[in-house]
Structure 1
Amino acid sequence: MDQRPAQDEYTEFQSRYISLVPPEGDLRVILREQTERILGLLGGLTEEQGSFRYAPEKWSIKEVIGHLIDNDRIMSYRLLCFARGEQAQLPGYEESDYAAAAEYDRFTLQEVLTHYRIVRESTLDLLDSLPENSYTRTGMFNGVAMSVRAQACLITGHELHHLRILQERYLH
C-alpha cells in the first residue's frame, strides 16, 4: 500500500496523525519497522521503568503501549469493515475510558509488549490480505467518513505520535 490518501478521505483532526506518516513507502513496511522500533526501544526496560509516568495524571509506559494495542484493534476493525463495504456507522471510542478499564499496569512490561506484537501482527496480516481495489473504499465511524488507506495511515501516524511522546517524555 504505497499511495497515500487524498485530503478528502479523512478529517482535519486526523490530519495531525496522518501528516506524520512518511509521504512515500509501503505502509506495511513502515508499520513493521515501527513495531520493531518500539519492541527494541522498550524491550530492555525494567518493570520499574515500564511503570514510569512522567506526570501524576499521565499514563505509564505500559498504559501507553496498552493504548496502542486497543487503538490497533479498534482501527483494524474499522479498516476491515470499510474494506468489506460495511454500510453501518461504527462507533467512536473514548481512549481514557478504555485505558482505565484495561488496567494494563497489572501486566508485566514483557506481557504488554508480547500482546502489542501479536495484535500488530494481526493488523499487518489484515493489511497484507486486502485486495488493491479496497484501499479507496470508505466507511463511517462516529460521524466521520474515511477511506481504508486513510485508516491505515491513521494507525501508522497515531503510533508515530506516541513513539515521539515515549522518546521525549518517558525515555529522555
Structure 2
Amino acid sequence: MAVYFPTVATPPLAESRAQLRHQLDLLADFWNACSEQELSTRPGPGRWSRREILGHLIDSALNNHRRIVVASLAPPPHRLRPYDQEAWVRVADYQHYPCADLLTLWTSLNTLMLHLLDRLPPHLLEAQYLTLNGNPTTLHWLISDYALHLEHHVRQIIHGETI
C-alpha cells in the first residue's frame, strides 16, 4: 500500500468513476474475444494466468466494497485490513472457474462499486483510513488507488504482461 501525502492531488471522484467504467468496457471486449486456453495460460512458474489476474481483481473489488461500506457505517479512523492476495487467488482456484462467469462476477462487482460511488455522500470522501503501516489516508484516495490498481491489471490482462 502506498503512503498518502496530503499535498498530492487526488483526482476527482468522477474521474475515478469514469476510469472504472472504461476498464469494464475494455476488458469485456478483450475477454470475449479470447479462448479458454489464452485466458488460462500461465506465462511462467509462479505467475498468474489472465483468469487468475481477473480473480485477483474480484478479490480487490470485494475488499474495496467493504472499505466503502465501513466508511459509511462507522466513524473514522478506519484501519485497512490486510489480506494475502496469493492465498486468496489460490483458495478460490480461479484457474478452474468458468471464464465467462469470472467476467460476469467481476463486472457485477464493479457495477455495484459504481452504484456505491454514485450514492456516496461527499463528506465521506475525507473519512480517514490508516494504511497497513499506520499512515493516514482518505477514502477518496483509496477509491482513486483502486481505480489505478484495476487499470494496471486490466492492462496486464490485455497486453499479456506478467506479474
Give the aligned partner of residue 15 of structure 1. Answer: none
The Cα of 1:138 is off from its aligned counterpart by 1.1
Gaps of 5+ in 2: none
Counting only pairs closer than 5 Å after superposition, residues 142-153 of structure 1 correspond to structure 2 as 142=132, 143-153=134-144
Verify: 1:159 aligned to 2:157, yes or no: no
Give the aligned partner of residue 3 of structure 1. Answer: none
Give the aligned partner of residue 109 of structure 2. Answer: 119
Matched residues in 1 for 2:49 and 2:143: separation?
A: 26
The Cα of 1:161 is off from its aligned counterpart by 1.4
Matched residues in 2 for 1:95 and 1:116: separation?
A: 16
Q: Given that residues 83 and 135 in structure 1 are in contact (C-alpha distance below 8 angstroms), is that contact kept between their aligned partners in structure 2?
A: no
Give the aligned partner of residue 41 of structure 2. Answer: 52
Give the aligned partner of residue 91 of structure 1. Answer: 81
- What amino acid is aligned across from residue 39 of structure 2 in structure 1? G
Q: Percent identity between the aligned chains?
A: 23
Matched residues in 1 for 2:122 and 2:77: separation?
A: 20
Cα pair distance change 1:28/1:80, threshold 3 Å: same
Q: Given that residues 51 and 105 in structure 1 are in contact (C-alpha distance below 8 angstroms), is that contact kept between their aligned partners in structure 2?
A: yes
Matched residues in 2 for 1:125 and 1:23: separation?
A: 16
Aligned residues: 156
Deviations 1:56-96 (A, max 9, x none): 21111111000001001102211322344344534211111
Q: Given that residues 92 and 141 in structure 1 are in contact (C-alpha distance below 8 angstroms), is that contact kept between their aligned partners in structure 2?
A: no
Q: Given that residues 77 and 127 in structure 2 are in contact (C-alpha distance below 8 angstroms), is that contact kept between their aligned partners in structure 1?
A: no
The Cα of 1:35 is off from its aligned counterpart by 0.8
Aligned counterpart in structure 2 of residue 75 of structure 1, from 64, 68, 71? 64
- What amino acid is aligned across from residue 53 of structure 1 in structure 2? R
Q: Given that residues 138 and 147 in structure 1 are in contact (C-alpha distance below 8 angstroms), is that contact kept between their aligned partners in structure 2?
A: yes
Deviations 1:135-167 (A, max 9, x none): 111123533432111111111010111122223
Cα pair distance change 1:157/1:9, threshold 3 Å: farther
Matched residues in 2 for 1:9 and 1:89: separation?
A: 21
The Cα of 1:120 is off from its aligned counterpart by 0.7
Give the aligned partner of residue 14 of structure 1. Answer: none
- What amino acid is aligned across from residue 33 of structure 2 in structure 1? G
Aligned counterpart in structure 1 of residue 6 of structure 2, from 2, 5, 8? 8
Give the aligned partner of residue 160 of structure 2. Answer: 169
